Structure 1
Amino acid sequence: MSYRFYYYYHLERARFDDAIMLMERELFISGRKIADRLTENNELLKDITLNAPSHKQLKQRYPHFNWN
């Protein structure tokens, strides 16, 4: 979930609320639950942001998502 948020927010440049909304549609989880999970995994999200994986790296790590 953190990698998907990184993708929408940092790579696709979606606003925070838009990134959450896109994830709601994709994962069938409420926006509140997504925000809670992102908060719980804040350290992971910081690490992802520092490492700044590319579209290609994300596709290799999680091939079941569309990273284009």
Structure 2
Amino acid sequence: MIFKLIAVLAVLFFVYTIFFKKNREKTINKNNKDENIEDVMVECPTCGTYVSKKEGILSNGQYFCSSECLKK
């Protein structure tokens, strides 16, 4: 009796993984493809390190990595 119950549960789990799990993975991957990360790296004119445009300090059309580089 226990063996039959375990066999039925194994078959149900197998059916679930084949039919339902693949559909869920497709929707997750589809949602991730829609998101584009737009972050451009620019070079600091003073020290030459690369900094994100979002994190850089914009002054006179140039992006600086820190306020120290901006003062130089």
TM over 0.5: no
Structure with higher RCO (Cα < 8 A, 6+ apart): 1
TM-score (norm 2): 0.20
Tell me which protein shows more strand as a share of its residues.
Answer: 2
Tell me which protein shows more helix as a share of its residues.
Answer: 1
Look at both structures and tell me which one has the larger radius of gyration over its CA atoms: 2
TM-score (norm 1): 0.21
